[in-house]
Amino acid sequence: MKLHVKKGDMVKVLAGDDKGTIAKILAVYPEKNRAIVEGVNVIKKHTKPNAKNTQGGIIEKEAPIHISNLMLVENKVATRIGRKIDEKTGKLVRYSKKSGEVIK
């Protein structure tokens, strides 16, 4: 399934406690329609001491957020995404519906 966002994209959060935040996508899980966004939906996780974290305690990490609550930001403006076939390469590319420009 094609999604409107990819790893590395800058996105704006549309809903939730972090509404309005603009940040970078760290990971995308297409089978669950979720993405991890840097500094968004931060949770506290209680951990036991282990080889990685010998001290244990409470760590803060980003939890996944549903991709319907994310909107791509291109040139500092949130925009909807469309797909079209590129005339030069013949491949399917994403483009900004606001400006009409192809996105990377």
> Tens of pLDDT along 22-66?
999 999 999 999 999 999 999 999 999 999 889 999 999 999 999
CB 103 within 8 A of CB 54: no
Residue 1 has pLDDT above 80, yes or no: no
Written as one string, the DSSP assignment of 54-103 is SS-EEEEEEPPEEGGGEEEEETTEE--EEEEE-TTT--EEEEETTT-PBP
Res 58: pLDDT: 94
pLDDT at 104: 80
- 79-101 confidence digits (pLDDT tens): 999 999 998 999 999 999 999 99
Domains, the chain, with CATH or none: 10-75 (2.30.30.30)
| Structure token pair of residue 61 | 């990490």
Assign 7 to helix, strand or coil. coil
- What pLDDT was estimated at residue 19? 96
